[in-house]
Chain A
Amino acid sequence: MPTGLADAGLLLSFLVPLAVVLLALPQFMKYLVRIGRVSKDVHKQTDSRVPEPVGPILVVAAVAGEFVAYAAFGSLVPIAVMGTAAVAFAVGLVDDIYVLGGRVKPLLLLLAAAPLVITEAVQSTVYNPAVTFPILGPTAAHLSIYTILAVAAFPVVANAFNMMDSFNGEISWFTLLTSLSVLAGVTLRTLHTSGLSLARVASTLPLVAVAAGFLVFNRYPSRAFDGDSGALFMGAMFACLAITSGVEVAAIVAIVPAILNSFYTLSSVRGFVERRRMPSRPTSLGADGKIYASTESNAPVTLVRLILLAGPRTEKDLVRDIVMLTAVSCALSFVISVLTWVV
C-alpha cells in the first residue's frame, strides 16, 4: 500500500470517531435530557442530573472508525473489533434498560467473542494463537487452547472496565491511558516485525479517539455518563484489540488496577453479585462533600476503598489517584512492550 494512503487511513481512523463523538454527543445529550434519561450524580451533594447512557454515540463513533480502518487496509481485524464492540454494546444496553443479574451478564458477554472467532475462521491471520512474552519470545501456537482463553477473556475484561466506571472521568481516563498502551505495543510490534500491516495500528486508533473525545464530556464535573453499554463495549473492544494485536501481556499489565479492583471485589463479596445487591457500600459521601471508605468489616474491598482508607478525598482528587495508579501500570506495560518487541 502506498505510504500516503496508509497515512491517510491511520489519520482518518482517529479523526472520524473523534469528530463523531465531539459533534454528535452534545446533540444526543440534549435528546436524553428531553426524554428524561438522566441519572443522579451520586457523589455530589447537590441534586445533579447527568444524561445517561451516551454509549450509543460512542459505539457508533468506534464502529465508524473501524469501518475507515477496514476500507483503508482491507484486513478483517477492524471487522472483528467492530463486531465485538457491537455485541458487547447490545448486552450493555439491555443491562442499562433492564439491569441484568450478576451471573447473566458475564455469560452474555461470552457472545462478544463470536465476531472474533468467526473472522478468524474466515481469515486465519486475524489473531496469532500464541502469546509473546518479554525476552522469552512466543509460546507454541495452540489454536483451540488460545481461542478458549480468548473467549473467556471477554467477560473478564469487559466487566473489569465496567467496574472502573463509578466516578466522574474514571472510565474515560482509564480507557484512554490503557488504549494508548495497546497502541504503543502494537506500534512497536509493527515497526519491529517485517511484513506486518498497519491495519492493527489503525484498528486501535478508534478506541483511543472515542476515549479522548468522551473525556471532554465525562471528566469532572461530568456532563455525560456512558452507562453499562459504554463501559462494556470499550472493555470488550480493548480485549479484542489486545488479542488481534498480539500484545496480550502488555495489555494485561496496563489494566492491572482494574484486574485488582475486580478481583478484590469478587473475592470480598464471594462471587458475582450485582453492585445494587451488595450487602453494604464500600464508600460513602460525607457532609463535607468528600468520599469516605467504609469501615464496616463486610464492606466490599474495592480499589477505591483501598485508596480512601488512607483518608477521605474529593471526587476530583480520588479520580486523580486512580489515574496515577493507571499511569504507573501503563508505564510498566510500555516497559513490557519494549522488552517484547525491541530488546
Chain B
Amino acid sequence: MRLASLFLIELVAFLLILGETYVFFAVVVPLGAVPRSPLDYTGYALLKLGLTFGLGVLWFVLVDSSARLYVKSMLKRRTPTLSS
C-alpha cells in the first residue's frame, strides 16, 4: 500500500487538530476565568495567547517532522549503499 505512510501523516494532522482543539477548550479557555486584578487579566490574556500560539507551532512542528522523516526514509531506501 504505497499511500499508507501518507494516510498516516494525514491522520496525524487530523488527530492533532482534534486533540489540540480539546486542549484549547479544556485547558486554555478556562485559564484565569475570575481574574482578581487588572494585572491578572493582562497576564492571563498573554498566557492564553502564548499557549494558543504554542499549539499552532506544535501542529506545524509535528506535521513538518513527520514529512521530513518520510522524505529521509524514502530517499535512504532508494540510495544504494556499499553493502547492497
Binding site for B on A (CB under 8 A): 133-134, 136, 139, 249, 252-253, 256-257, 259-260, 263-264, 267, 295, 301, 303, 305-307, 309-311, 321, 324-325, 328-329, 332
CA of A134 to CA of B20, assembled, Å = 12
Set of chain A residues within 8 Å of B68, measured between Cβ atoms: 301
Q: Is the CB of B10 within 8 A of A328?
A: yes
Residue of A253, A257, A311 touching B17 (CB-CB under 8 A): A253
Q: Is the CB of B67 within 8 A of A301?
A: yes
Binding site for A on B (CB under 8 A): 2-3, 5-7, 9-11, 13-14, 17-18, 21-22, 25, 29, 60, 63-64, 67-68, 70-71, 74-75, 78
Chain A residue with minimal CB distance to B59? A263
Given the interface pairs A256-B14, A309-B75, A325-B7, the reply to whether A264 lies near B21 with Cβ below 8 Å is no
Rounded to whole Å, the gap between the CB of A310 and the closest CB of chain B is 4
Given the interface pairs A307-B3, A321-B3, A325-B3, the reply to whether A260 lies near B10 with Cβ below 8 Å is yes
Set of chain A residues within 8 Å of B2, measured between Cβ atoms: 307, 310-311, 321
Residue of A260, A295, A306, A325 touching B78 (CB-CB under 8 A): A295
Rounded to whole Å, the gap between the CB of B62 and the closest CB of chain A is 12
Chain A residue with minimal CB distance to B13? A256
Q: Is the CB of B14 within 8 A of A136?
A: no
CA of A139 to CA of B28, assembled, Å = 12
CA of A267 to CA of B67, assembled, Å = 11
Set of chain A residues within 8 Å of B78, measured between Cβ atoms: 295, 309
Q: Is the CB of B10 within 8 A of A325?
A: yes
Set of chain B residues within 8 Å of A133, measured between Cβ atoms: 21, 25
Closest 7 CB pairs of A and B: A309-B74, A310-B2, A136-B25, A332-B14, A133-B21, A256-B13, A264-B67
Given the interface pairs A133-B21, A136-B25, A253-B17, the reply to whether A264 lies near B64 with Cβ below 8 Å is yes
Set of chain A residues within 8 Å of B5, measured between Cβ atoms: 310
Q: Is the CB of B64 within 8 A of A325?
A: no
Set of chain B residues within 8 Å of A257, measured between Cβ atoms: 10
Interface of B is mostly: helix
CA of A92 to CA of B42, assembled, Å = 43
Q: Is the CB of A306 within 8 A of B7?
A: no
Given the interface pairs A321-B3, A329-B10, the reply to whether A306 lies near B67 with Cβ below 8 Å is yes
CA of A310 to CA of B8, assembled, Å = 15
Rounded to whole Å, the gap between the CB of B44 and the closest CB of chain A is 15
Set of chain B residues within 8 Å of A310, measured between Cβ atoms: 2-3, 5, 74
A-B CB contact pairs (8 Å), 10 listed: A252-B17, A259-B13, A260-B67, A295-B78, A301-B68, A307-B3, A309-B71, A311-B2, A325-B10, A329-B10
Rounded to whole Å, the gap between the CB of A72 and the closest CB of chain B is 35
Chain A residue with minimal CB distance to B67? A264
Q: Is the CB of B70 within 8 A of A260?
A: no
Set of chain A residues within 8 Å of B64, measured between Cβ atoms: 263-264, 267
Set of chain B residues within 8 Å of A253, measured between Cβ atoms: 14, 17
CA of A318 to CA of B37, assembled, Å = 59
Set of chain A residues within 8 Å of B25, measured between Cβ atoms: 133, 136
Rounded to whole Å, the gap between the CB of B53 and the closest CB of chain A is 14
Chain A residue with minimal CB distance to B79? A295
CA of A325 to CA of B22, assembled, Å = 25
Rounded to whole Å, the gap between the CB of A62 and the closest CB of chain B is 28
CA of A324 to CA of B21, assembled, Å = 26
Rounded to whole Å, the gap between the CB of B28 and the closest CB of chain A is 11
Rounded to whole Å, the gap between the CB of B29 and the closest CB of chain A is 8
Rounded to whole Å, the gap between the CB of B17 and the closest CB of chain A is 7
Q: Is the CB of B71 within 8 A of A306?
A: yes
CA of A257 to CA of B9, assembled, Å = 10
User: In the complex, given contacts A253-B14, A301-B71, A310-B74, what are 20 additional A-B residue pairs having Cβ atoms less than 8 angstroms apart?
Assistant: A134-B18, A136-B22, A136-B25, A249-B17, A249-B21, A252-B17, A256-B13, A256-B14, A260-B9, A260-B13, A263-B63, A263-B64, A264-B67, A301-B68, A303-B6, A307-B2, A309-B70, A325-B7, A325-B10, A332-B14
